[in-house]
Structure 1
Amino acid sequence: MDTKKSEIRTKNIINTSIIGIVVNICLVILKSIFGMIAGSIAMLLDALNNLTDVTSSVVTIIGLNWSKKQPDEEHPMGHGRIEYISAIIVSIIIIYAGASAGLESINKIFNPMNPDYRGYTIIIVIISIITKCILGSFVKKRGELNKSPALIASGQDAINDCFVSVAVLISALLSVFADIHIDAFIGLLISLWIMKSGFELFLEDLKDLLGRRADRTLAKQIKSYINSFDEVEDVHDLVLHNYGPDRFIGSVVIDVDENMTATNIYTLSHYIKDDVLDAYNVILSAIGICVVSSTTKDMREEIIRRLEHIDGILQVHGIHIDNEKHLIDLDIIISFDDPYPDATLDHAYMHMAESFPEYTIDIHSDRDI
């Protein structure tokens, strides 16, 4: 990532996290004080929920700072994935807080103690709802702008907290105006909501560590950009490896005319690498070359037309035709949704053998990346 852009991103994330910390500490103090005065387990658990947000923001800052460490011998691609780990830690904290709150709520259900809500308590809860909605939207938007999974998680959690506080408000209103006391049950619902949010965030963050597909829009833009070079006839086999938010290293294969010299190809590859880095902040560590001949253009188009009509085949590329050795070598992309990919590959072989019986066929199955 560009150093200046990286510094701006880091500053934005830290500033946003600090704002979240300050706002949530204020809410924790207010809800704890008035929750104890009212004897409301639901309000105290809502305060605990805000305390987990404070912890989440602190973990986000720590994780971000660690992710900025320079590459070393053991981590040559840097430490950017620490941000994903910090986001998972945040989700685990949320799950633990929800489970603890649930146990306390169950205890209050079997050992009830009616809360004493007052008008000022209700006002505090309403202020909390408005504050958390504004904060959640702000943090999530800043997370999306700065591509920070931890900030996005914290922002979504804050938005979810609005619904938690609404449940507390309903409990308070029923207690004051109808003398109906459901505080402990609301507390249990809050704990379940907290755990649900935590599990959802955990599973979402886990996808990044396992290797989530790169954004299709980004991949299409890079392919289209490379294809805009006059010397490039086709672009395929783009692979992007994620080493942290907005940190991609990848490779690609381009089709060029067989008459291009090694010097021409080197110059073209150099320009493509530099331009893609400047335009999309993606490092292309390797550019493979597939040579094509104008004399086989019609045959190539016929191969594509025949194979792309087979259900399950998304794309045909990397076609190399050697008329002297009577060899056809090509790649196909089979959809992940195809229940029988091996059968689809066999179908492609059979179709090619029937269409070009005098040629030896070699088909490689690529992944839809």
Structure 2
Amino acid sequence: MKEKIIDSIIKIFKLEKGDKNRNFGFFEGIISTIFNFFIFLIKYLFSNTLNSISLKADAFHTLSDILTSIIVIIGFYFASKKADKKHPFGHGRIEKIFSILMAIILIYVGYEFFISSLDRFKNPVNIDINYIAILILFITILIKEFLTLISLELGKRINSLALKTDAWHHRSDSIATLLIIVGFFTFKFGLYFLDGVFGMAVSVLIAYTGFSIILQSSSFLIGEEPSADLVKKINDIAYNFDYVEDVHHIHIHDYGNQIEITFHIRLKGDQTLNEVHDKITRIEEAIENEIKGANVTIHSEPLK
């Protein structure tokens, strides 16, 4: 079902025409910014009307979503730039740098509202219960889950950490709003101090999301071990050629939009240098055709 929804969106907005990665990133960033702006206004207005610090924290959580969505757009713009003399492998890793910037904003927002929520916990105030507000907040959860679906699925299709991160940012906002709705029902029994408790819970969730993004992005930039699936795919393609005896010493460097793949290979039988070159070229082309953005270099070795 969700695949059909995403397929329809891609078709309607022609997202696969031209630079697919940039189109996906721009679309996700723009639609997230528009929806989050209206959700922020709704939450902020109700937080003032109901005098709820937890709802105000959630409103600014949504505001941070707008900032991160804008950063996604900027990140994809720079990441889509072509390789140049100074950056021969392209600019794909810029996306991860902007992801870290998104994370720092999240951590700061979480810290600020944790302090405010702690003060509200120590000094609780009466909070009005408004069932219309609760209904509208529930609708915002549905909208955020829709944004989560779009961001996560588009991120999976182009293997974008920034889009997947933004998806979990939307999801954390949904969880935070759900906590606040639950909190509103407890205020009916005079448990106003829980407003501060839920505010602190939302703040911790915001900061935790930020730290998680930093860990993921930093790990990629430092250089991660390639996935077992990718290594298996390379082996399967290479061994599909009947003249291949052995494949080993596979190295993979992911630059975002470009993947540099190098490995050693042994071929069967006695062959001239030209024959070896032609056969290795066919293997390189086969891998590059199957793995998007791959640039393959193979080193041949004699049989022992």
Q: Flag whether TM exceeds 0.5 (same fold).
A: yes
Give, in whole Å, the separation in 2 of the partners of 1:155 and 1:235. 38
Matches within 5 A, 1:99-110: 99-110=111-122
- Say if 2:99 is the partner of 1:65: no
Deviations 1:247-300 (A, max 9, x none): 2012111111351100101111221222211111254442111212xxxxxxxx
- Say if 2:56 is the partner of 1:44: yes
Counterpart secondary structure, 2:302: strand
Look up the equivalent residue of 1:205 and give its one-letter code. S
- Say if 2:280 is the partner of 1:243: no
Q: Is the 8 A contact 2:21 2:80 kept in 1?
A: no
- Say if 2:183 is the partner of 1:166: no
Q: Is the 8 A contact 1:122 1:173 kept in 2?
A: no
TM-score (normalised: structure 2): 0.90
Deviations 1:46-73 (A, max 9, x none): 1111111111111011011111222223
Identity of aligned residues (%): 26
**Residue equivalent to 1:97:** 109
Change (3 A) 1:62 1:153: same
Report the aligned-residue RMSD. Answer: 1.7
TM-score (normalised: structure 1): 0.74
Matches within 5 A, 1:212-291: 212-244=224-256, 246-257=257-268, 259-291=270-302
Q: Is the 8 A contact 2:90 2:258 kept in 1?
A: no
Q: Is the 8 A contact 1:13 1:146 kept in 2?
A: no
Deviating above 3 A after TM superposition, structure 1's stretches of 4 or more consecutive aligned residues are: 282-285
Give, in whole Å, the separation in 2 of the partners of 1:12 and 1:64. 9
Give, in whole Å, the separation in 2 of the partners of 1:101 and 1:272. 56
Deviations 1:93-137 (A, max 9, x none): 111110111111122223332222312221122112222222212
Look up the equivalent residue of 2:284 and give its one-letter code. K
Look up the equivalent residue of 1:18 and give its one-letter code. I
**Residue equivalent to 2:93:** 81
Counterpart secondary structure, 2:19: helix
Q: How many residues align?
A: 288
Change (3 A) 1:274 1:230: same
**Residue equivalent to 1:53:** 65
**Residue equivalent to 1:347:** none
Change (3 A) 1:61 1:151: same
Q: 2:41 aligned to 14, 17, 29, which one?
A: 29
Counterpart secondary structure, 1:113: coil
TM superposition shift of 1:185: 1.6
Q: Structure 1: which 5+ runs fail to align?
A: 293-319, 321-369
Of Structure 1 and Structure 2, the greater strand share is in: 1
Q: Structure 2: which 5+ runs fail to align?
A: 1-15
Q: 1:193 aligned to 201, 205, 208, which one?
A: 205
Look up the equivalent residue of 2:196 and give its one-letter code. A
More moved, 90-99 vs 106-115: 106-115
